[in-house]
């Protein structure tokens, strides 16, 4: 997936091949920043309020100078205009990357948030639930920490990058990541849910998972419907013994998992949830 012809850096439009950061950029050096992936369909950002709230909260948590610009109409207009300029007619992925700018570890020039907006064309298949279940395994060579920053979509993504390389090497669609206590955190691309003994479970934010927007939305919907769901700790044994496993993300919605290691899973609840809660967002 390649970014189309233009991008937006701090409110100005540039050709996509324009070099915009220096070797001293703190995000390049230390992963000092965060990002947000959003899905736009027919000119509308899905779950827009959830995304902008998470971005604004992440900036506060990472001690950037406070700026309400990232929840303003002007910022939303910039994203919409870039989608139009890159001629995405039906649907697009919007990525907003935030960095602190230049400086060493102890001497940042300032705490102002610099932002980069990119857009990517999305195929219509991204709107549908996967027909073939995902094939995955558990990755143990890197761990998700459990701290005040683990729920942020941080620019420091080493464990995800290594997990993705391992998945590709072993011809897998994704891998499950663990926290330091051998409990389930999330995957390289998504949050994870399991169904076991009639109960729907997903790792709590304290388990090290990213605070996913679709995860948050789906939890809200299921609780309003009175469905048996809880945020908790999940062991590898529980994962392997589950009857169903599915992933949630802003770009792909809900995807069902067919296989993790030697365990196989059904696709019943995930299909119902996708039709009931995800499909209406695409209208």
144 and 264 share one domain? yes
Tally of domains within the chain: 2
The residue that leads in pLDDT, 35 or 17, is: 35
Q: Report the candidate in 5, 36, 2, 9 with the shortest Cα–Cα distance to residue 117.
A: 9
Same domain, 94 and 143: no
Q: CA 147 to CA 149: how far, in whole Å?
A: 5
Residue 46 lies in a domain: yes
Residues 176-208 as b or e (16 or more Cβ within 10 Å = b) = bbbbeeebbbbbbbbbbbbbeeeebbbbbbebb
Are 146 and 91 in a shared domain?
A: no
Q: How many residues does the chain have?
A: 283
Instruction: Tell which of 101, 123, 145 closes a domain.
Output: 123
Tell me the residue range of the domain where 176 lies: 134-282
Percent of the chain predicted with pLDDT > 70:
99
d(CA 161, CA 92): 23
Residues 113 and 13 in one domain: yes
- The reported pLDDT for the residue numbered 4 is 57
Identify whether 129 is part of a domain: no
Q: Where are the beta strands (DSSP E) in 134-243?
A: 134-143, 174-178, 184-187, 191-196, 199-203, 229-232
Residue 1 belongs to a domain? no
pLDDT, tens digit, for every residue of 122-181? 988 889 999 999 999 999 999 999 999 999 999 999 999 999 999 999 999 999 999 999
User: 123, 143, 172: which is the final residue of a domain?
Assistant: 123
């Amino acid at each position: 997936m390649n970014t189309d012809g233009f991008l937006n850096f701090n409110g100005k439009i540039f050709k996509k091949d324009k070099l915009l950061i220096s070797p001293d950029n703190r995000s390049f050096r230390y992963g000092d920043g965060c990002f947000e992936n959003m899905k736009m369909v027919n000119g509308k950002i899905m779950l827009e309020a959830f995304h902008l709230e998470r971005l604004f909260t992440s900036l506060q948590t990472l001690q950037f100078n406070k700026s309400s610009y990232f929840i303003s109409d002007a910022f939303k207009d910039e994203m919409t205009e870039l989608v139009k300029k890159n001629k995405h007619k039906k649907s697009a992925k919007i990525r907003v990357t935030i960095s602190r700018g230049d400086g060493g570890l102890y001497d940042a020039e300032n705490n102002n948030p610099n932002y980069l907006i990119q857009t990517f064309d999305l195929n219509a298949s991204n709107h549908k639930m996967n027909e073939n279940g995902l094939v995955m395994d558990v990755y143990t060579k890197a761990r998700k920490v459990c701290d005040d920053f683990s729920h942020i979509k941080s620019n420091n993504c080493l464990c995800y990058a290594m997990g993705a390389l391992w998945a590709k090497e072993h011809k897998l669609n994704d891998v499950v990541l663990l926290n330091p206590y051998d409990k389930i955190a999330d995957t390289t691309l998504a949050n994870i849910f399991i169904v076991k003994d009639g109960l729907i479970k997903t790792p709590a934010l304290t388990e090290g998972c990213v605070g996913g927007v679709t995860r948050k939305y789906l939890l809200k919907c299921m609780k309003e419907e009175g469905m048996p769901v809880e945020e908790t700790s999940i062991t590898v044994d529980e994962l392997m013994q589950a009857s169903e496993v599915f992933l949630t993300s802003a770009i792909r919605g809900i995807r069902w998992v067919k296989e993790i290691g030697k365990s196989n899973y059904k696709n019943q609840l995930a299909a119902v949830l996708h039709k009931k809660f995800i499909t209406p967002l695409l209208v």
